[in-house]
Structure 1
C-alpha cells in the first residue's frame, strides 16, 4: 500500500498545532518542593504527562498511566515492541525571554515557548505520525508503544519506575535530538567538589550562587561580598565595571556601606554543548579571585576561576578525545557558597566518550584541585557511552526514510546530549531538528520552526510504519 505521508500531515497541520499549543501552555518544570505521592516530580510534569495521555485517549489508543511517573500510548499487536520515547518535562525557563515562555507565540513561522523544541514539539510530531497510521488502519506486525516520560531533564527516575512495571521495548527511537540520526551518545556523569564555607581574608564572600540545572550553562550569577572599608567597596565596584567592559559581558554592582552585591549575565546553553554558552559564574569568579579572600572562600573562587573558559576539561586534567565519539566536554552548571553553611560546591557535568570514565575523571580532578576541596562527590548513578552500529537494521531503515523524504545523504552522528534512546540496547535518537538548525534548547526564546515540525511528522509517520509493518 502506497501512502502519501505529506498529504496526510497537511490535512492535520491545524490539529497538530492546536494540540501542541495547549501542551506548551503547561509549565512542566520539575519542582522538588511541591513533590507529592500524586505528583512525583511536582505538579507541572504530572499535568503535562496527563495532558499528553489525554490525546491518546481522545484518539482511541490504548493508554496507560503508570502512577503519574510515566505512561504510554499504544497501537497494534505483535511479539515485538517498537518504542518511541518522548518527554513532557522541561528545564526551567530562566530569564531573558522576549515573550512569556508558557504562552506560545507564533511569529516568523516559528513557535516560541519552553519545550517547543525540547521535547514537546518533536513528541507531538511523532505522535501525529502514529495517529496517521492508526486513522488509516494500516496493518502492523509489532506493538507500537509511545512512551511518555516526565523526568528526562533531571534524574530519569520516571523511566526507572516505569520499567519496574512495564516491559522494555525491543528497539526504538526518541524524537529528541536531530536528523539524520543520533546513533551514539557520550557518557554522562556529574562530579561535585565540596568546599569549606569559611572566610579569612580582608574581603569576605557571603554568598555566590549560579545555575538552574547541571545540564544548563549558568546564564546568571549573584554574589555578595563584604569589603574591609567603604572606600574599598567603592573601589571594588569601579574595578568590576572596568572588568565587565573589558570582558564583553554585562552586570551590575550595588553598594550598601561596605557590602557589594554583584550580578553578571552570561548566556545559557545546553550542558552538552557548553562551548555555545557564556558561563556567568566563572566570569564573576575570575574577577573576584584577584582580591584578598581567604579560607574556604578563597579555595572556592580559585577553583571557579581556574575552570574559566575550559569546556573540555583541560585545566582539570581530564581532557580526552576518541576518534569516533569526539572530545569530552565539561559544563560547570551549579554553584553555591553560603558563608557559615555546610554544602558549598560546584557541579561539573561531563559528557565523555568511550575510553575514559568515572575513575579517570575522579583521579584527574583530585590531582588538579584536590588541595582546595574537602571532598569530591561523584554521581553514582550515571550513564556510560552508548552506540548502535550504522549497519543495524534500525539505523539503516531510519536513514533510508530520512534520505527519501529530504533528498539528502544520511550519516551517523554521536552527541554529548543524553536521550531516552539510550534506554534500549537498540535505541537511537531520530530528529526532530534538521541539519543547520538554530539550537535554542535550554535557552531563552526557545523555538521550533513550523516547517520543520510538519516535515518531521511526515518522516516519523513513514519511519514508524516501516519499522512496524
Structure 2
C-alpha cells in the first residue's frame, strides 16, 4: 500500500497546531515546593500528563496513567512492541523572553514557547504521525506503546517509577522524538558530581551568599552574590563597569543596609553544549576573585574563576577524555549554592562522558581540587549507550529519513540524554533537522513550524515501516 504521508499531514496541520498550542500553554516545570503524593513533581507536569492522555482518549486510544508519574496509550496488536518515549515536562522558562513563554506565538514561521522544541513540539509531531496510521486503518503486525514522562529534565524519576509500577515489560525496541535527524544511535554517559566546600569566612570582603543556575543540565544564565566589603558602592560600580566592558555579559550592583549585591547576566544553553552558553556564575566569580575573600568563600570563588570558567572539556580539572566513536567529554558548571550560614556549600558539575571513562574516575580527579572538602555523585547516572548502525531499527529509520528528505543519513552520538537509552535497542529520532538553530533550554525557545510538519510525515512513515 502506497501512502502519501506528507499529504496526510497537510490535511491535519490546523488540528495538530491547535493540539500543540493547548499543550504548550501548560506550565509543566517541575516544582518540588508543591510536590505531594498526587503531584510527584508538582502540579504542572501532572496537568500536562492529564491533558495529553485526554487528547489520546478523544482520538480513541486506550490510556493508562501510572500515579501521575508517567502515562501511555496503546495501538495495534502483535507479539512485538514498539515503544515511543516522549516527555511533557520542561526546564524553567527563566528570564529574557520577548514573549510569554507559556502563550505560544508564531512569528516568521517560528513557534515560540517553552517546550516548542524540547519536547512538546516533537511529541505532537510524532503523535500525529501515529494518528495518521490509525486514521487510515493501515494494517499492522506489531503493537505500539506511546509513553510520556514528566521528569525527563531532572532525574528521570518518572521512568524509574513507570517501569517499577506499570506491570508491563519494556518494549522490544523503540525511539524517542527528542533530539535531531537523521538519528541519534549513541549517547554519552551522564552524571552530576557535587563539589563541597566547608569552613568559615574571613577577610575584608565577606561572602554572604552566591547563587546561580536553575538546573544542572542548563548553563546558568545569571548569578547573584551578596557580600559585605571594605569598599564603596561607587568603587564597586566602577570596577563592575570595567569588568563587563571586556566580556559579552551585563551586570548590576546595589547596596542595602551595608550589604552589596552583584548580579551577572549571561546566556543559558543546554547542559550538553555548555560552550554555546555564557555562564553567568563563572563570570561572577571572575569578577569577585579580585577581592580579599578568605576561607571557604575564597576557595569557592577562586576554583570557579580559575578552574571551572570556560573549562567545557574538563582539561583544567584533569578529566578530559575523547573516544574515537563517541567523541569528547563535556562539563557544565550548572548550579552554584553558597550560604554563609551553611557548612556545606556546593557546585554541581554535569558531565557527559564517552565510553572509556566513568563517574568514579572523574570523582577521583575532582577530589584533588584545592579547597574541595568532598565530592558526591547524583543518584541517577546514565552510562554510555550505543545501538549499531546495522541494527534493523537504525537502518529502517535512516532509510525513511533519506527517502523523505533526499539527504544522506548517518549515525550520530550526542552528549544529551534522551529516553531512547531506556531500551537496549532504543534511539532518538528527530524532530530537529540538520543545521537547525538550537534554542533548547534557552530564552525564546522556538521550533520551525514547517519542520514540525515535515517531522510528522517522517514519523508516520517510519512508524508504519517498523510495525506494518
TM-score range (shorter-chain normalised) is over 0.9
- 2:425 corresponds in structure 1 to 426
C-alpha distance after superposition, 1:39-62 (max 9, x if no partner): 111100000011111111000011
Q: Is the 8 A contact 2:248 2:266 kept in 1?
A: no
> Aligned partners of 2:374 and 2:147: how far apart in 1?
39
Q: Name whichever of 283-292 and 458-467 sits farther off.
A: 283-292
> Aligned partners of 1:340 and 1:24: how far apart in 2?
40
- 1:448 corresponds in structure 2 to 447
Shift of 1:229: 4.5
Q: Name whichever of 338-347 and 201-210 sits farther off.
A: 338-347
- 1:351 corresponds in structure 2 to 352
Spell out the pairing of 1:174-193 with structure 2 (5 A cutoff): 174-193=176-195
Q: Is the 8 A contact 2:75 2:144 kept in 1?
A: yes
The DSSP-based 3-state class of the residue aligned with 1:246 is coil
Q: Is the 8 A contact 1:201 1:292 kept in 2?
A: yes
> Aligned partners of 2:298 and 2:394: how far apart in 1?
51
C-alpha distance after superposition, 1:11-46 (max 9, x if no partner): 000000000000000000000011111111110000
- 1:173 corresponds in structure 2 to 175
Q: Is the 8 A contact 1:181 1:413 kept in 2?
A: yes
> Aligned partners of 1:128 and 1:246: how far apart in 2?
49
- 2:282 corresponds in structure 1 to 282
Shift of 1:424: 0.2
> Aligned partners of 1:149 and 1:97: how far apart in 2?
26
Spell out the pairing of 1:69-88 with structure 2 (5 A cutoff): 69-88=69-88
Q: Name whichever of 450-459 and 297-306 sits farther off.
A: 297-306
> Aligned partners of 2:170 and 2:331: how far apart in 1?
31
Q: Name whichever of 304-313 and 335-344 sits farther off.
A: 335-344
After the TM superposition, list the runs of 4 or more consecutive aligned residues in structure 1 that deviate by more than 4 angstroms.
none
> Aligned partners of 2:132 and 2:49: how far apart in 1?
21
Spell out the pairing of 1:186-225 with structure 2 (5 A cutoff): 186-196=188-198, 198-225=200-227
> Aligned partners of 1:461 and 1:38: how far apart in 2?
34
The DSSP-based 3-state class of the residue aligned with 1:372 is coil
The DSSP-based 3-state class of the residue aligned with 2:202 is coil
Q: Does 1:67 align with 2:62?
A: no
Q: Is the 8 A contact 1:218 1:280 kept in 2?
A: yes
> Aligned partners of 2:375 and 2:302: how far apart in 1?
16
Q: Is the 8 A contact 2:212 2:335 kept in 1?
A: yes
- 1:438 corresponds in structure 2 to 437
- 2:156 corresponds in structure 1 to 156
Shift of 1:193: 0.7
Shift of 1:388: 0.2
> Aligned partners of 1:153 and 1:248: how far apart in 2?
28
The DSSP-based 3-state class of the residue aligned with 2:201 is coil
* Structure 2 unaligned spans of 5+: none
> Aligned partners of 2:80 and 2:199: how far apart in 1?
55
C-alpha distance after superposition, 1:289-313 (max 9, x if no partner): 1211111000100111121111111
> Aligned partners of 1:309 and 1:133: how far apart in 2?
48
Normalization by structure 1: what TM-score?
0.98
Spell out the pairing of 1:249-288 with structure 2 (5 A cutoff): 249-256=249-256, 258-288=258-288
Q: Is the 8 A contact 1:198 1:340 kept in 2?
A: no
Shift of 1:73: 1.3
Q: Is the 8 A contact 1:26 1:102 kept in 2?
A: yes
> Aligned partners of 1:419 and 1:243: how far apart in 2?
39
> Aligned partners of 1:151 and 1:366: how far apart in 2?
30
- 1:372 corresponds in structure 2 to 371
Number of residues of Structure 1 aligned to a counterpart in Structure 2: 465
Normalization by structure 2: what TM-score?
0.98
Shift of 1:270: 0.1
Q: Does 1:90 align with 2:90?
A: yes
- 2:131 corresponds in structure 1 to 131
> Aligned partners of 1:259 and 1:249: how far apart in 2?
23
Shift of 1:197: 5.4
Shift of 1:351: 0.1
- 1:410 corresponds in structure 2 to 409
The DSSP-based 3-state class of the residue aligned with 2:245 is helix
Q: Is the 8 A contact 1:197 1:339 kept in 2?
A: no
Kindly tell me: are residues 197 and 12 of structure 1, through their superposed partners in 2, closer, same or farther at Cα, counting changes over 3 Å? Answer: farther
C-alpha distance after superposition, 1:142-167 (max 9, x if no partner): 11010011100011111011111222
Q: Does 1:140 align with 2:160?
A: no
- 2:110 corresponds in structure 1 to 110
- 2:24 corresponds in structure 1 to 24
Q: Is the 8 A contact 2:367 2:374 kept in 1?
A: no
Q: Is the 8 A contact 1:266 1:277 kept in 2?
A: yes
Q: Is the 8 A contact 1:186 1:415 kept in 2?
A: yes
Shift of 1:237: 2.6
Q: Name whichever of 181-190 and 238-247 sits farther off.
A: 238-247
* Structure 1 unaligned spans of 5+: none
> Aligned partners of 2:436 and 2:246: how far apart in 1?
32
